[in-house]
Each structure stands twice: as C-alpha cells, then as structure tokens.
Amino acid sequence: MATSYRNPEEATALGAQMRLARKKLGLTLTDLAERTDVSHSQISRMERGLFKGTSKNVQILCNFLNIGGTRTSNKEEPQDLAQRLERLASSSPRWRSVVAAFAEALEAAQDTHPPT
C-alpha cells in the first residue's frame, strides 16, 4: 500500500528523489517507462511533484528505484523483488553476472532442499 502525500512539499521532495535515483541509474524517462509500464509523461509529472494522495504508479516507481516513502509493510511483493533484481542486473554487465550467479545458486539450493 502506498503512502498518502498530504502536501505539495512531500510530493515535491519525493519527486526530486525519483529524478535523482533515475539519473543515478543512467535511465531516461523513456527507459524507466519501458521498465515499469508507467508512462513517461506520468513519470515526468511525478518527478515534478505533481501528484496527490496515493498512487499505485508512485509505489511502482519507488520500488523500482529503491527509494523510500511508499511501503507501509515489510512484506515483499514478488513483482517488487523481480524489479529490484532486474534493476541490478541491468546496471552493468558485472552486476548481470552477479545476479545470474545468485539465481543459479538459489535454483541449486531449491533442487536439494525443496520448499515445504
């Protein structure tokens, strides 16, 4: 569940965090839109703090960019985890290798110790 932003200052601050995180990852608005299925025009508005209340898309972006402000529970959604792994894997060839090795190790562990 996303947090409600009750005033423009909170929305503007979160938008600035979104923009900074996106740029740190070297992503354009279009890149981020393609990876999150949130339109680039909506991302642009969010980065400028032009949103009110709660928004599923705000939560999607915060989770993908790994920034705070949206999660009210500690329960990890499967899609969130996949997005985080994709973000890491797409950040560089080295990190793609690290994520692939991690996935292989998890699969090997699952083969020898299936979930109960």
- Global pTM? 0.56
Closest CA to 82 of 62, 64, 94, 107: 64
Higher pLDDT, 96 or 40: 40
Which of the four pLDDT bands, split at 50, 70 and 90, describes residue 95?
confident
Query: Are 18 and 61 within 8 A, CB to CB?
Result: yes
Q: Which range among 5-9, 23-27, 110-114 shows the weakest confidence by mean pLDDT?
A: 5-9
CATH class of 1-73: mainly alpha
- What single-letter amino acid sits at 109? A
Could you tell me which residue, 52 or 104, shows the higher pLDDT? 104
Q: Where are the domains of the chain?
A: 1-73, 76-116
In sequence order, which residues have a C-beta less than 8 Å from that of residue 62 and are 6 or more positions away?
2, 14, 18, 68, 69, 70, 71
**pLDDT value at 116 more than 70:** no
